Amino acid sequence: MNHWIIAPVVLPAVMASIITLTVRFHPQLQRIFSLASCGALLAIALGLTAVAATGSIEVYELGNWPAPFGIVLVLDRLSALMVLITAALALVVLLYAIGSGWDQRGNNFHALFQFQLMGIFGAFLTGDAFNLFVFFEVLLIASYGLMIHGGGQRRLRAGVQYVIYNLLGSTLFLFALGTLYAVTGTLNMADLAERAAEIPVGESGLLRVGAVLLLLVFAIKAALLPLHFWLPETYAEAPAPVAALFAIMTKVGAYAILRMYTLVFGPEHDATADIIPPLILFAALVTLAVGMIGILGARRLGRLAAFAAIASMGTLLIAISGFRPETTAAAIYYMIHSTFAGALLFLVVDLVRSQRGEARGAMTPAPRMPQHGIIAALFFASAIASAGMPPLSGFIGKLLIMDAVRDMPEVWLIWSVILVTSLIGILGFAQAGSAIFWKTTTPEPVPEDADAAPVAATPTPALPLVASFTMLAGIIALSVFAGPVTHYTEATADQIHTPSGYINAVLGQR
Amino acid sequence: MEMLLASAIGALSAAGIYLMLRLRSFPVIIGISLLSYAVNLFLFATGRLAVNAPPVLRDGVETYTDPLPQALVLTAIVISFGMTAVIVIMALGSYLSSRSDTVNITRDTPAEQEGDA
């Protein structure tokens, strides 16, 4: 048994405890521990991905209880890739949080950050549906703390909405799991897959109810319309590094959909195959349209970035709804891209906000920023990535998706929605960019008495810029090495579309 | 027995959803608690209802009740307890800072200094 599989869950849990219990009053030590943890996690994630890239499916039985009686963690290509994306994102976001001083604007940022990572890694690695619920709760409760980090009236009120919405989602999750348990008598995903396949179509009423309830839960996480209401306010109000980390949270929902609806309720199951994919497809098309129109309609940068996140989830879920190897491969490529592009956009928005004085993120004329050129270039690059224009990976991702859906009956609808909404998105980004970076005002001459002078916006220190450019470098690398990455995603898609491999790995050869 | 439990789950869920739709923090929190009671009862019932049957292996016993839902309910209770504590504190903080207990964010809520709305 490969014990490294549990490391991404245990390491952040231990680090978070150390940070809260022993170095609580030492900000510098907290930073060092947090950075060390994220660096180690990235190294572990690279190692795990190298193991998974050989095509083997590794199973870790907690407490050495054999499946399906005990809880298992499963490492396959998909979960290894998600762990790697999360680890890379976390390290860059943490650098930004430290460089910009966000981590010192409240207590316990680093501990919550580590707990959040623990929940996310656990959700990606677990092979048990109830354990998935538990890890969802771990990542949610840490995200509640991170969301209101720094405090403030409006952020608290947005936080309350976010918590209430997700508590409802958790309750729904339990109802769904209860229904599935009542029908199948198991919650181990591999075992669920076997038992669900044995239920005849005529008697599968409750199973279908469970499957759709579960889809609703994951749709809340993935911000699929009409369950996306929590996202714009939450992402716009959350501290910037937290919003950037949340870029992976919506992907947790997408990952769960991909996992459950290929493994347990796969396209070969007659009971659910005719309801799940159309539901996801049409909701995703509307999500994409609303997200892009939201970009065009946003009057503040925070909401623009939030709607860009919604739009990218729409594009991603369109590809997922195909549920065939070629669409899944495209979806996974787009998932990597949209995580980094979404996070970069939130970081750039924060750079803009911190340098524009009173105007903050509003799209109104304001004095030139101290580092006007460099930030404008970053915004330009992240807008290109988010809108899906060449030469960055957003374009490649959309191209892959449009190519992959060619055999689907709804191909014309999908193509027209993706192309038209891309145009709307480009317009929205262009409008925002020109309002913020071109229409600058000349600052009023500073009066003689220094006390009355407005506080000049200070230039950003180097570290946040380095973090943002690292993120951009990741996106460029994803575009340049699109070939090798696509090979990996194709192998991943093949692996998750042959669920027998997963089931045999977990339950043993029978 | 089944009828009693089913109607209890139904009544709790209905009351919980009604209270949540009031959109004031106190009724919403009570509503969430009622919903979590409903889901706990529901989880408990998913292992079938068996009266006077032990959940653990014992000599000379033929009928057992399913122990797994009981473990699941225990986990769910602990999690919902923690979550209720979090939402109470956050709702309190939100009320004390904005002097309003409505869940909706209205237009006159001022934009945050650090964030942007």
The pLDDT assigned to A449 comes to 53
A130 Cβ under 8 Å from any chain B Cβ: yes
Domain extents in chain B: 2-50+66-98
DSSP A442-456: PPPPPPSSGGGSPPP
Please judge whether A170 and B83 are an interchain contact, meaning their C-beta atoms are less than 8 angstroms apart. Answer: yes
Are the CB atoms for A378 and A469 separated by under 8 Å? yes
Q: What is the ipTM of this complex?
A: 0.90
Chain B residue with Cα closest to A137: B79
A105 Cβ under 8 Å from any chain B Cβ: yes
Cα A394 from Cα A386, distance rounded (Å) = 6
Contacts of B90 in chain A (CB under 8 A): 144, 148, 156, 159-160, 163
A411 Cβ under 8 Å from any chain B Cβ: no
The pLDDT assigned to B112 comes to 47
Token code pair at residue A271: 């009971």
Contacts of A233 in chain B (CB under 8 A): 105, 117
* Residues of B contacting chain A (CB within 8 angstroms): 20, 25, 28, 32, 35-36, 38-39, 42-43, 45-47, 68-69, 72, 75-76, 79-80, 82-83, 86-87, 90-91, 93-94, 97-98, 103, 105, 109-117
Are the CB atoms for A271 and A201 separated by under 8 Å? yes
Q: Residue A4 burial (CB < 10 Å; 0-12/13-18/19+)?
A: middle
Closest-CA distance, A233 to chain B, in angstroms, reads 7
A156 Cβ under 8 Å from any chain B Cβ: yes
Nearest CA to A335 out of A307, A306, A314, A304 is that of: A314
Contacts of A161 in chain B (CB under 8 A): 103, 105
Please judge whether A137 and B83 are an interchain contact, meaning their C-beta atoms are less than 8 angstroms apart. Answer: yes
Are the CB atoms for B13 and A175 separated by under 8 Å? no
Measured CA to CA in angstroms, residue A310 lies from A222, A224, A272, A389, B103 at distances of 9, 8, 26, 18, 22
The pLDDT assigned to A446 comes to 55
DSSP A167-206: HHHHHHHHHHHHHHHHHHS--BHHHHHHHHHHS-GGG-HH
Closest-CA distance, A410 to chain B, in angstroms, reads 37
Are the CB atoms for A97 and A109 separated by under 8 Å? yes
Closest-CA distance, A188 to chain B, in angstroms, reads 12
- Tens place of pLDDT per residue across chain B (117 aa): 889 999 999 999 999 999 998 888 899 999 999 999 999 999 988 888 888 888 888 888 888 888 888 889 999 999 999 999 999 998 898 888 888 888 877 665 555 444 443
pLDDT in tens, A383-420: 999 988 888 888 999 999 999 998 888 889 999 999 99
The pLDDT assigned to B115 comes to 47
Contacts of B88 in chain A (CB under 8 A): none
Please judge whether A159 and B90 are an interchain contact, meaning their C-beta atoms are less than 8 angstroms apart. Answer: yes
Please judge whether A179 and B46 are an interchain contact, meaning their C-beta atoms are less than 8 angstroms apart. Answer: yes
H/E stretch holding B84 reads helix B67-98
Smallest Cβ–Cβ distance between B94 and the set A160, A171, A179 belongs to: A160
Contacts of B20 in chain A (CB under 8 A): 164, 168
Closest-CA distance, B60 to chain A, in angstroms, reads 24
Task: Give pTM, 2 decimals.
Answer: 0.92
Q: Where are the alpha helices (DSSP H) in A276-410?
A: 276-297, 301-320, 325-355, 372-387, 393-404
Give the residue ranges of chain A where pLDDT is below 50: 450, 452-453
Domain extents in chain A: 3-442+459-507
Closest-CA distance, B27 to chain A, in angstroms, reads 12
Please judge whether A160 and B90 are an interchain contact, meaning their C-beta atoms are less than 8 angstroms apart. Answer: yes
Pairing of β A72-75 and β A366-367: unpaired
Cα A178 from Cα B50, distance rounded (Å) = 17
H/E stretch holding A323 reads none
The pLDDT assigned to B116 comes to 44
The pLDDT assigned to A36 comes to 93
Contacts of B49 in chain A (CB under 8 A): none
Are the CB atoms for A78 and A329 separated by under 8 Å? no
Smallest Cβ–Cβ distance between A182 and the set B46, B94, B105 belongs to: B46
Q: Cα angle vertex A3, ends A63, A7, to 5°? A: 100
